[in-house]
Structure 1
Amino acid sequence: MPQALTATRVSPSRTSGTRLSVTITLRGPTTTTARIPLPPASPFTSTNGQLRFMCRRPVSLGFARGDEARGDSVSRVLNVLRFKRRDSAIHVLDPRSKFMLLVALSVASLILADPVTLLALLAVEAIILKAAKCLRDWLASLRGLLLMLAVIFALNYLTLPSHRLFTSLAMTVRFLDLATAFSIFFLTTTPDELATALEASGVPRDYTLMFTMSLRFVPTLARDLQTVADALKSRGLELEKGGLRERLRNYVYLLVPLIIYELRRSLMVAEALEARGFGAVRRVEPYYELKLKERDYAVIALSWAFIAALAYLSLSGCYGALLAEMLAYWP
């Protein structure tokens, strides 16, 4: 059973010349002392034994810094589905042209079957992310994908009869290419733009709402999961300790509060839709009207040309000959 720690001493001090810090002593079964360095120009006042801080930047305990840096892998992975507002040439594109770019990159990921060309495709996607100013967000999400990539590589390597290394690398990079293609689309497209594009393409409004709301609530669900996990950790539940069976048993405790939390949220959304008269009018005028521009037509044309070139190389046998030559030189 976790033991509570009580703060018994809080004292300001000076370290490194004029740099201020605060030492907190926590007493319980063991005594822990933590020194918190204050940011520069952070005055404090002491009144009646109470210490008050005036800091513009957050200050954290030194022994909790490792947990904060570790973060939650699920939240990092799902973060690629969350729109990032940037001022870039990719963000200003029409959602329909970005969807065509997504189709072209996905088709290329499925047609190509060797790690060399798939890595070249990944480099092209990284350049697009750099142009969209979202490369750092994508790199941060890769930390959560490492375990999944390792599982894909291991399963292919252990089950394939021949060319195991070649095919395992190709399948791993292919999955990364597909995930990156979807990241480009969702990091640069708002749900409202996507809904407007779907309605303009003739998709019924009910299906458009279901699709866009599911995209909206994927990051929300990850954030709620992290909130419930933090609440359970603060009450002494150690989710990351123990064997696999004990970890699974601990994670079961997340389900009940998370399900109740999401049911309440769904009722709130249903009441909000009813209050706003959703479905009362057959045709709704969009808030803003989409219009394809020259840059959008250029992206669509390049995407179709890329798909046509890949189809020609695949059907003509040129890529098959190149693939056979790669396999001959591959160890």
Structure 2
Amino acid sequence: MTAIHRANFFLKIGVGLVLSTLAWLIPEWWAGAALSALVLITLWLVGTPGLRGYLRGAALLVLLVMASWLVNLSIQGVPVSEALTTGIKLASRLVTTTAAFFFIMATTSPGAILAACSAARLPPIATLTLSLLFGVIPMLQEDFARIADAQRARGMEIDEVGFLQRLRFALARGVPLLVQAIRMAHAISLTLELGGFDLGRKRTTWREVGLLVDSPSPRHVQENDP
């Protein structure tokens, strides 16, 4: 695991917010597209896990944004060239924002999030919110992929079809994914209740957290070994 993967959770959050803010403040479409390309290349160079699946989703997002804005602005009488640049600008902003936070979710474990929040002395509800937000989304992505595999096993070809057909199949995964998300939320709430989660109880951390998240020292492990 590289140092960039072990970087402090809040450091990653800060970089993600800076990139997102920069993407939405850049006025030129070509500069926004260049920033998006730079972010994606960086994710590839550092070996971000699950990048191929994200790129597929990002490509679909770009196509939807471009198509919707081209149609919308064309109906309003805006020239095609101007509508195209507007679509590229908005798509680039979304790609930069989602890519930055995808990196955070793909390279930060729930334990690292808990350690960073505990070291920062955040309130328990804030720690819980951040842990669930950045921990549940990757799990839902895995469920989404499993639903797609189940569709393939039942003869639903979703790879070598047209864009509209693929979009329809993708939307068909939404219902089982929603059901799974509700079941997961119920399981998490039940687990917290059984574990005696209390907002008034302070937690400690088992890691030294600075700019990098360090593993527990052997001395610390021996001291806490029953």
Unaligned runs of 5+ in 2: 213-226
Change (3 A) 1:193 1:266: same
Q: Taking structure 2 as the reference length, what is the TM-score of the superposition? A: 0.68
The correspondence of residues 204-243 of structure 1 with structure 2, limited to 5 A, is: 204-227=123-146, 238=156
Contact in 1 for aligned 2:118/2:204 (Cα 8 Å): no
Aligned to 2:57: 144
2:33 to 112, 115, 119: 119
Please state if 1:101 is matched with 2:15.
Answer: yes
Q: Taking structure 1 as the reference length, what is the TM-score of the superposition? A: 0.49
Secondary structure class of the residue paired with 1:109: helix
Aligned to 1:286: 205
1:128 to 25, 42, 45: 42
Aligned to 2:215: none
Tell me the distance in 1 between the aligned counterparts of 2:4 and 2:181.
34
Q: Which has the higher strand share?
A: 1
Aligned to 1:153: 66
The correspondence of residues 15-34 of structure 1 with structure 2, limited to 5 A, is: none
The correspondence of residues 250-269 of structure 1 with structure 2, limited to 5 A, is: 251=172, 255=175, 259=179, 262-269=181-188
Q: Which has the higher helix share?
A: 2
What do you get for the CA RMSD once the two structures are aligned? 3.6
Contact in 2 for aligned 1:91/1:189 (Cα 8 Å): yes
Which amino acid in structure 1 is aligned with residue 105 of structure 2?
F
Please state if 1:276 is matched with 2:195.
Answer: yes
Tell me the distance in 2 between the aligned counterparts of 1:113 and 1:280.
44
The correspondence of residues 155-170 of structure 1 with structure 2, limited to 5 A, is: 155-160=68-73, 161-162=78-79, 163-170=82-89
Tell me the distance in 1 between the aligned counterparts of 2:52 and 2:113.
24
Secondary structure class of the residue paired with 1:208: helix
Tell me: higher relative CO, structure 1 or 2? Use CA pairs within 8 A at least 6 residues apart: 2
Change (3 A) 1:103 1:219: closer
Which amino acid in structure 1 is aligned with residue 103 of structure 2?
I
Please state if 1:192 is matched with 2:111.
Answer: yes
Secondary structure class of the residue paired with 2:10: helix
Please state if 1:173 is matched with 2:92.
Answer: yes
The correspondence of residues 36-55 of structure 1 with structure 2, limited to 5 A, is: none
Tell me the distance in 2 between the aligned counterparts of 1:292 and 1:230.
39
Contact in 1 for aligned 2:9/2:116 (Cα 8 Å): yes
Contact in 2 for aligned 1:239/1:251 (Cα 8 Å): no
Contact in 1 for aligned 2:119/2:205 (Cα 8 Å): no
Per-residue deviation, residues 181-238 of structure 1 (Å, max 9, x unmatched) = 212322222222223334444542123213322332223334335545655775x685
Per-residue deviation, residues 74-99 of structure 1 (Å, max 9, x unmatched) = xxxxxxxxxxxxx2231132222222
Deviation for aligned residue 1:263: 5.0
Alignment: residue pair count: 199
Per-residue deviation, residues 108-161 of structure 1 (Å, max 9, x unmatched) = 101112232123323432453245222x74244212222221121122223332
